[in-house]
Structure 1
Amino acid sequence: MNKNVFLSKLKIKIWACILHFIAFILFIVGISIIYCNDNFKKGLLWMNAESYDESPAFMSQVDSDISLLFTYANLREVFETDGRFDLNKDIFGLNMGPSNDVNFSVGSIIEYAKRHGYYIDEHYQVSVVDQKLVDQIEDTSYFINYRIYANSLDMVEPSDAYISMKTVITESLGLLAKYYNAYERFVLIPSNFRYRLEYGDTVYTNDRSLNIKSVYEYGKYALTFSDSMIVETNLRNIPKELAFQSEKLSDKLPKPYRVYIAVNTVYTATDIYAIENVNYLSQRRAYSIGLVSVTVGIILMIISLGYLLIFSGHSDKKQGIQLNDLFDVIPFEVKILLLIFFIVVLFAINNFIGQKVLHIYIEKENWDFANQMLDYASIYLAALPIAFSILREYKAGLLWKNSYIKVIKESFSIYMLKRTFKKKLVSDFLLLIIVDIVIMAFFLLTTINEKSLLGRLMIFIAFIVFLIINFIIFNKVYKTAIAFDKIADAIKEIANGDTRYRLNESEFNGRVSEVVKDLNNISMGFQGAINDQVKSERLKADLITNVSHDIKTPLTSIINYVDLIKREKPENAKIQEYLDILSVKSQHLKNLTEDLVEASKVSSGNISVDLRDIDLVEMINQTNGEFEDKFAEKGLNIISNLPPAGVIIKADGRHLWRVLENLYNNAFKYAARDSRIYIDVVMEDSIAKFVIKNISENPLNIRPDELTERFVRGDVSRTTEGSGLGLSIAKSLTMLQGGKFEIIIDGDLFKVQLRFVAVLN
């Protein structure tokens, strides 16, 4: 792969990371703009209006002003005299004792409220400057002589005629605060909200030019008359309380009435409408920018994240998944703990440093949101690299392999597998106890709620019966568990080779006794089959030994006479050729006979083993020397890789020589001509390993385990002089000496490995 191409792919990943980070910032900025918008909680419908006077916010403000207007109209007669605010006007009167009627005017109420810690704040809400002063007001209730702002018909119960000083002062101040608010909105300060209330000869207005003709010249208007149920308006919606409040005010003012409401949408006055109009347009633009920022951020985050998820761990330079050797190989449980640790540290940093820096640039009302966004961003940025590390580990197939959960699961599985029936019973009984506790709690609650003595006695009897049933069930299950444990032990003994193991059938009953009887029958069947197999193997070994011995005597005579004839040096070349063939074939027959005898001895165990300390390296050198000339006949070259120091193993020298001889002969017979024979001796911990390998001359279309069976040869055409017993004998002799014998076939590569426990100095 071209290095420049690799670098360009790497650059794509880097740019994807940068793009994802930029998209994340866009997303955070967009969310912040939307959340900090004054219209955030109104949803997206408020943006449907192109202008402020068509928006729900405008309609809400109109409804609010209409409600405040009629509140002001109702309160004028409470706080005004001849159209002017009157501090001497009496608001309520209380009977505070015999012949002690006290009247409270607007001024006295204000003085009393100030002295006892009340005030009206800038939002026209009644507030407390000192709660201790408020608490000093006596709680005595006094008879109400009058309250100018309340209807005497509302007093239904006798207690309604009495009121405490704190309550009446609070009521009066609340109404005064509403009056102040309305007076400032509709009288003192120029407003784009215009009104004219005509009730007979009484007129309330802040625009004397407002009439039936001029009202239509304003941007928005609403009209209602006493002789009509229709509200004429060009507002977005009909004002909610206009008709109702207009009719209700007629209870105090004379009819007929004509109510004109208008809003100058040119916004010539600098009031709440003008301010909200500018704010609405800026908020609308900001909201749009926020939506675009969030949408673009999400799309770019998804694209960049998707690319990184797909190609994370991949490299054009190397095949497979590339892992970070320092971090990716850590178990994912540790990574999760590290993530939690990093998040805790980041939260601490945010709390002591980050939040204080944000508070410098952000309004106080948005501090909570800013703190949350800082924490969320910290979590995301901390989790992202760990998530990609876990992803690479998953792609490499190491996520579960390196997991501590896997270790715990395997350990628990082993524990569950090795758990006896008694232990299983104990755990199951613990579960039963938990259920019993729940039932006992139910009994207890029932007993507490049961009031009668007979009922409680019945519950107690039921509880005793419940305990007895539990004990009977446990005793039965426990005995069954003991029986199954004995059966499990018997099966284990039989599986380990003790086919004479028997269970006492009289100790079991029911279904378990049938299982025990069948298990004993299986044991006896195994014992009979093993005895028959041993007897058959012994007969085979005896037959092979006897036949081999009977063949060996005439064969020796044939070999001797062929040798004598060859010494006579017959002149006929044809006879000499026949003698050579006869000599080779008889020698092969002799080797086959000897192999048969040795294979028979090995299989029957009729062979002695004398284990001594043997230098494996020295024996390999001797074997290499013995076969060097023979290998040269086929152009085979021995390549040895032996340690300079000796490797001592426990083995029988005669049998080990036979193993090596068979392996070398096998290589001579089946290795490709003019190839190499590799001989290796290596140490793996405390194990000495001998390896011989070569390239086969013929295709090795056979399994390794088949080559160690008797009379099986790698040369299926049987053109070589092998007997098919060499590898089988080598394997058997290796195992008799406590070693391990393994054949490995990889294509035409034939490899044999011998393993012996090394004697360490």
Structure 2
Amino acid sequence: MKSKYVFAAWVLLMAFGLSGIFSLLTNSSRYVQGNYFQSQEFNSQMDQFIAMLNVYELYGMPKAEMKKQITVTDEEIEEHRTRYGNLAEQISNIRMQYEDQIQVANDTGNKAVEAVLKKERDAKVADITENFKSDEYVRAKVVKEKEKKIDEFYKGLQSYQREFNNLEGAFKYYLKDNATGEVYTNLTISKGKTASDYLNKKEMYYLQDYENLQNIYMYEIFMPFNEVAEEILRNHKDREVTGQIGLSKHASEKNSVIMNYRDYQKGQTLFFGYLLTSIATLIASYFLGKRKLATVVGSFDQWKPLYRKIPLDVRAGILLTTLFFLLLSMSLINQQFVYYHENFFANVIDLIVSLIVAASLLAFAWIQLSFLSEYRNDWPKFEEEMKKTIVAKSYHAIVNAFFIKSIGFQLLILLGIVFAMGMLFVAVLVAGGGHVIVIAFAFGVVNLPLFILIMSKAGYLNKVLTHTEELAAGNLGANIPVKGKSAIARHAANINDLRTAVNVSNKEQAKSERLKTELITNVSHDLRTPLTSIITYTELLKTPDLDQEDQASYIEILDRKSKRLKVLIDDLFEATKMASGNIDLHKEKVDINQLLQQALAEHNEALSQSSLQLRVTQPDHSIYVYVDGQKLWRVFDNLIGNILKYALENTRVYISVKADQNQVVLLFKNITKYELGDDQGELFERFKRGDQSRHTEGSGLGLAIAKSIIDLHGGSLEIDVDGDLFKVTITLDQYA
């Protein structure tokens, strides 16, 4: 608790000390750089007195005399004549001004009014016509205008006479016209004395010599400007007047100039006392703050989590606002010292209130700065916080609004129209009258179609969002109608594509689950069958007194089933490697005709023993491809093996090779002995056989392995089934 009192005392001392420094920065020109007679305030009063002295004393003249000095130039005559246009334009304007009034009087049968209006119109037309005929006629009118201005000038002089008398009570002057010897003074000079007996440093607070006083003429600054009187007075300022003007020590203390002088002296004394006191309090606050200030500020850490939730730019704005009001409160403090106040108690109360407010704002600002100082050594955190600011979010919101430019510009146009209509509505409210019809028409023509358009777009957007929610819930439903080419329409089309993709994905997933089940079943069956035979015949071999013939038969069966199991495992392993792509290809330039012949030669005995009639079509020249010859030979081996297993007896088998532009196309065609399924793609699946009864010795992996090899070479392997006709098409890039 004691430390909090220390903190309160510290902020009070600091606020008072800083207010003094603030006062030094803002008021040094008033009190530090000179005395009262060098201040702008005194110079302004002196200049005002000199200007009025010129008007009322030195260069004053009677109203009648000034009117005699009026001159009219040819330029002024021409300006007055053509002020509202040429003769035709002015006559036309006059007639237009009276046309409606005369017509109304005529319609209502008021002949007297009509006659008066026509008489006024004709008089003005005649007057304007005379303007363009006679310069003297215009000259007389210009003189009357200038005389009216002079009357206004002298009326203004009367209103400022009191101010001049007040200044004359403080300033004493003795001025002499060097040419005529005429003296102008407000001194009462006793017999035997001269002006210097009165105008000296003993009798005057301030004294200044003037050699060319007539050059000091600033009437227009302190009194309403009158161009006619100003011009006449300037034309008659050709005298040399010299003398002295001083601020009298014998002037009344109630005179405004003397009162300002006294207030300045008191204010200057207060200012320097205030400045010295503020420096002392700053020193005291420094030593006091070294004790427990950090501990007290640390006690506010409980507010840090809440403070951190505020965006960084908002925190900066709060800090700047706090500092602004802190400076404002400090200016209120120094005003109690800089400007002298008669009411001491009111001054003290204002000082205490301002000091408490300044201390509170200083404490609040100090706590904010201490919280923000944590970013000083953690710039990554600062950068992260900057991304969360309202300014950054607003920037990204604008950028995102124009991410699809059509939406951004449409939104901008709509907001612009709404803003324009709002401004038009406000303008109509201000103008009133018949403009309501205009705004009603504008709202009907612009806002109503705009409102219908927005509602239509909103309805379509709601429909798209509803379908999206149904899709997310798993209800595919029907496609969304695609209307137009807007961004919402494109989004609807994308949702439809997504729905189709999800539907296809669901079917593929169902198919995958079915094939996975078949895979497990087939692998279990194909591996268990030879394995069961191996176990069975191994047990039989253990039979005592087994004769040599049975033993040899069992061993032959074990050998065949073991090799069968090895083929299954090897094919399964190779198919897995092919599917994963985890296999190295050793590519080289290969003659595909020769490679096919080697594969056929490998199966020559089996083909000869079968009832199949093989027809091979190859070009006479070599066709080269860049492949792994061993892997491509495996493809041919698998396809020829499939033909031997699944081709119908006593049918023809066609194999052809041809070059097509930059590609090599190989065809394998045969008639199948088993009925094939409807889904040709399933023939590539692992352990899928053409014979559903699974009577053949194949592993079911031949086509899957062949397709994987061709895919790794960047080619394609496609299957076509037309009834019992089975066709495999292989396409590879030809080696250049």
Give the TM-score range, shorter chain.
Answer: 0.3 to 0.5
Q: Give the TM-score, by structure 2 length.
A: 0.34
Flag the structure with more relative contact order, 1 or 2, with Cα contacts below 8 A and sequence separation at least 6: 2
Q: Give the TM-score, by structure 1 length.
A: 0.33
Larger CA Rg, structure 1 vs 2: 2
